[in-house]
């Protein structure tokens, strides 16, 4: 059995669309009336064996000139139709007159046997007219496909500019190809999906693994049900896989655009290559100072530290048992790898560190972040490399203030002129009774910054309000002072600011 030739990758034309043309008056008289039957061209041949001249997917047109007189009593028609099917022919058009007054019954039977659609072409319709109609329909299909690809490219580019670019691109991709899109991480784990759940996920996972193992850029496969699978290698061992019901030429173009965008979103971009970051890490481990290695990471010499946590859904305050207002907060889940990667892409820096539910990001000072709908930000002051530890503490306090005040972004406000009113040695002496208990100092600092609000301090520190009351009572006892006195609060606030410098 000869291998079935590949169908040309041209926009197909449904046979039903050709039959619907009233000016052609075509009529299907045998074979399956399948709406999925498509044509990739039209070809006229009077050869007894048209197989060598078929590319696959054609409507083969014949007037039966090649049919011998005694064909009906032998296997001629069966052999003829079998060769058309083997050559990939999509349908057979038989012209009535001038050679034959009707379509031979044996030909009708053979087409029924082999499942080949047989179309009767009336005398007034020439083969040239049929072929021209096919090419006109193909041109319309080609134009529609180009429009679909162009609109999909614009849609994907728009999705990549959204605050959540990676999930948005996947959703747009799945919608545009009418299938499923799955993104796999470096360990081969499924980290994001879009499109209707299907039974192709196992096959997509296997294809992604095969692509990674072979080190190829793309791989494709077809499931027993006819779904077409394709995998695209992205940066840093990420893999995009797509499953489509059919193999449309434009689907590959659309998926390729999505793969490029996802490569940019998941890869190392604006702040330098992975080699430069590795070199900076090695130099630090070998004793270099931060200011010596930061030129490898960015062109500027000043930095911001950003602390980010996923935005939680906070309910409105509700009365307590005794009329006390209490704020209910629904804390979000810790961010996953995809969320962190997306955040890094939106901030333009791959220098990220995930600690518990907080992501710390080093951002060059010229890339000041703005509010993000899915994150709460605390942003430090601009500092040189040797003050990054100080900036880290500033960003932490700014994030706590943003959480407590329920604002999407809070920036560090130094107020150094006021803090300088209290000498450092006096500040340390004033706070010495608190000893080395960070929880007490941090609670005192947060409580003072929030004007003595128990509820907002509890939210900022992610503790119960009773814990805040107990800690503040302990602070008052150790310091031997009245925390309700505004002068005492001011002095303690200055002392805390001084020791933080």
Which one has a higher pLDDT value, 299 or 311? 311
Q: Identify which of 118-122, 330-334, 407-411 has the greatest average pLDDT.
A: 118-122
Any domain includes 63: yes
Are 118 and 189 part of one and the same domain?
A: no
Which one has a higher pLDDT value, 480 or 247? 480
Q: What is the CATH number of the domain that holds 254?
A: 3.30.450.30
In 3D space, the residue among 307, 196, 302 whose CA is nearest the CA of residue 242 turns out to be 196
Are 32 and 110 part of one and the same domain?
A: yes
3-state secondary structure of 172: helix
Cis ω for the linkage preceding 240 (within 30 of 0): no
- What is the C-alpha separation between 364 and 156, in angstroms, rounded? 28
Q: Are 240 and 217 in contact (CB under 8 A)?
A: no
Q: Report the pLDDT averaged over residues 212-237.
A: 85
Q: Report the pLDDT averaged over residues 320-324.
A: 40
The tokens describing 359, both together, are 């992501």
Are 361 and 471 part of one and the same domain?
A: no
Q: Which residues share a beta bridge with 229? A: 221, 243
Are 409 and 427 part of one and the same domain?
A: no
The tokens describing 142, both together, are 């080609």
- What is the C-alpha separation between 347 and 270, in angstroms, rounded? 10
Which DSSP string do the residues of 7-35 spell out, in sequence order?
Answer: PPSS--EEHHHHHT-TTTT-EEEES---T
Q: Report the pLDDT averaged over residues 267-275.
A: 52
pLDDT of residue 420 exceeding 60, the answer is: no
H/E element holding 60? strand 58-62
Residue 227 φ/ψ, nearest 5 degrees: -70, 140
- What is the C-alpha separation between 211 and 301, in angstroms, rounded? 41
What does the longest C-alpha to C-alpha distance in the chain come to? 120
- What is the C-alpha separation between 100 and 72, in angstroms, rounded? 13
Any domain includes 240: yes
Are 21 and 117 part of one and the same domain?
A: yes
Rounded percentage of the chain residues whose pLDDT exceeds 90: 36
Any domain includes 332: no
Supply the pLDDT for residue 267. 64
Q: Which residues share a beta bridge with 410? A: 378
Are 173 and 99 part of one and the same domain?
A: no
Any domain includes 338: no
- Sign, CA dihedral 471-476-478-479, equals positive
The gap from C-alpha 359 to its chain's centroid, in whole angstroms, comes to: 21
| Per-residue pLDDT tens over the stretch 136-168 | 999 998 888 889 889 998 999 998 888 778 888
CA atoms within 13 A on the CB side of 296: 19
Are 208 and 114 part of one and the same domain?
A: no
Mean pLDDT over the full length of the chain = 84
The gap from C-alpha 113 to its chain's centroid, in whole angstroms, comes to: 47
3-state secondary structure of 64: coil
3-state secondary structure of 189: coil
Q: Report the pLDDT averaged over residues 442-471.
A: 91
287 Rama class: left (phi>0) / alpha (psi -120 to 50) / beta: left
pLDDT of residue 325 exceeding 50, the answer is: no
Are 183 and 105 part of one and the same domain?
A: no
Of 413, 439, 460, the one marking the end of a domain is: 413
pLDDT of residue 7 exceeding 80, the answer is: no
Which residues are CB-neighbours of 234 under 8 A, at least 6 positions away?
Answer: 240, 259, 262, 263, 266, 267
Other C-beta atoms closer than 10 Å to the C-beta of 491 total: 17
Q: What is the CATH number of the domain that holds 110?
A: 3.40.1390.20
Query: CB-based burial of residue 197 (10 Å sphere; 0-12 exposed, 13-18 middle, 19+ buried)?
Result: exposed
Give a three-class secondary structure readout of 436-489: CCHHHHHHHHHHHHCCCCHHHHHHHHCCCHHHHHHHHHHHHHHHCCCCCCHHHH
Q: Which residues of 151-167 are buried (b: 16+ CB within 10 A; e: fewer)?
A: ebbebbeebbebebbbb
In 3D space, the residue among 355, 346, 371, 176 whose CA is nearest the CA of residue 266 turns out to be 346
Supply the pLDDT for residue 69. 84
Q: What is the CATH number of the domain that holds 477?
A: 1.10.10.2840
Of 413, 442, 457, the one marking the end of a domain is: 413
3-state secondary structure of 333: coil
pLDDT of residue 343 exceeding 60, the answer is: yes
Total number of domains in the chain: 4
pLDDT of residue 255 exceeding 80, the answer is: yes
Output the CA–CA distances (angstroms, integers) from residue 185 to 74, 147, 153, 278, 320, in the order listed.
62, 32, 24, 21, 46
The tokens describing 384, both together, are 């040189």
Are 429 and 398 part of one and the same domain?
A: no
pLDDT of residue 10 exceeding 70, the answer is: no
Any domain includes 279: no
Any domain includes 5: no
pLDDT of residue 284 exceeding 90, the answer is: no
Supply the pLDDT for residue 273. 56
Which one has a higher pLDDT value, 365 or 275? 365
Supply the pLDDT for residue 322. 39
Q: Report the pLDDT averaged over residues 431-449.
A: 89
Any domain includes 287: no
Which residues are CB-neighbours of 30 under 8 A, at least 6 positions away?
Answer: 107, 108, 109, 111, 112, 116, 117, 118
Are 449 and 385 part of one and the same domain?
A: no
Which one has a higher pLDDT value, 372 or 361? 361
Q: How far apart are the first and last CA of the chain?
A: 83
Any domain includes 337: no
Domain that holds residue 382: 301-313+347-413
H helices then E strands: how many in the chain? 17, 22
Which one has a higher pLDDT value, 299 or 303? 303
**DSSP strand E in 78-135: where?**
91-95, 118-121
- What is the C-alpha separation between 105 and 207, in angstroms, rounded? 48
Of 363, 386, 413, the one marking the end of a domain is: 413
Supply the pLDDT for residue 85. 96
Are 430 and 409 part of one and the same domain?
A: no
List the single range of 177-191, 235-249, 265-279, 475-489 with lowest mean pLDDT: 265-279
Are 354 and 403 part of one and the same domain?
A: yes
């Amino acid at each position: 059995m000869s291998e079935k030739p590949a169908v040309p990758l041209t926009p197909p034309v449904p046979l039903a669309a050709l039959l619907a043309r009233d000016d052609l008056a075509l009529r299907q008289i045998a074979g399956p009336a399948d709406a999925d039957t498509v044509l990739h061209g039209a070809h006229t041949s009077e050869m007894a064996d048209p197989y060598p001249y078929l590319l696959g997917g054609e409507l083969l047109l014949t007037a039966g000139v090649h049919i011998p007189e005694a064909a009906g009593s032998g296997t001629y028609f069966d052999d003829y139709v079998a060769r058309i099917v083997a050559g990939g022919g999509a349908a057979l058009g038989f012209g009535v007159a001038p050679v034959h007054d009707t379509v031979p019954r044996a030909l009708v039977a053979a087409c029924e046997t082999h499942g080949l659609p047989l179309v009767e072409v009336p005398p007034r319709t020439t083969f040239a007219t049929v072929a021209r109609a096919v090419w006109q329909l193909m041109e319309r299909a080609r134009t529609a496909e180009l429009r679909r690809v162009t609109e999909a490219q614009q849609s994907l580019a728009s999705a990549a500019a959204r605050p959540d670019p990676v999930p948005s691109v996947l959703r747009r991709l799945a919608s545009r190809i009418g299938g499923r899109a799955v993104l796999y991480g470096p360990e081969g784990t499924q980290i994001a999906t879009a499109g209707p759940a299907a039974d192709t996920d196992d096959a997509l996972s296997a294809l992604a693994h095969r692509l990674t193992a072979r080190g190829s850029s793309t791989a494709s496969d077809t499931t027993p049900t006819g779904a077409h699978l394709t995998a695209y290698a992205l940066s840093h061992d990420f893999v995009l896989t797509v499953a489509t019901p059919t193999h449309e030429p434009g689907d590959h173009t659309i998926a390729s655009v999505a793969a490029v965008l996802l490569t940019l979103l998941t890869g190392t971009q604006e702040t330098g290559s992975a080699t430069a970051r590795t070199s900076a890490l090695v130099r630090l481990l070998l004793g270099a100072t931060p200011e010596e290695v930061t030129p490898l990471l960015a062109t500027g010499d000043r930095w911001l530290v950003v602390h980010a946590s996923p935005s939680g859904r906070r309910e409105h305050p509700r009365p307590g048992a005794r009329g006390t207002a209490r704020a209910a907060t629904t804390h979000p889940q810790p961010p996953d790898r995809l969320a962190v990667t997306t955040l890094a892409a939106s901030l333009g820096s791959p220098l990220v560190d995930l600690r518990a539910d907080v992501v710390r990001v080093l951002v060059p000072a010229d890339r000041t972040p703005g509010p993000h709908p899915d994150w709460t930000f605390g942003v430090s002051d601009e500092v040189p490399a040797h003050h990054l530890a100080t900036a880290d503490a500033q960003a932490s306090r700014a994030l706590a203030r943003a959480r407590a005040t329920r604002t999407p972004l809070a920036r560090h406000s130094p107020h150094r002129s006021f803090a300088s009113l209290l000498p450092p040695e006096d500040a340390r002496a004033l706070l010495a009774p608190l000893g080395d208990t960070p929880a007490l100092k941090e609670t005192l600092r947060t409580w003072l910054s929030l004007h003595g609000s128990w509820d907002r301090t509890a939210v900022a520190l992610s503790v119960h309000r009773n814990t805040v009351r107990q800690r503040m009572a302990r602070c008052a006892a150790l310091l031997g002072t009245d925390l309700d006195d505004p002068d005492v609060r001011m002095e303690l606030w200055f002392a805390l600011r001084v020791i933080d410098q």
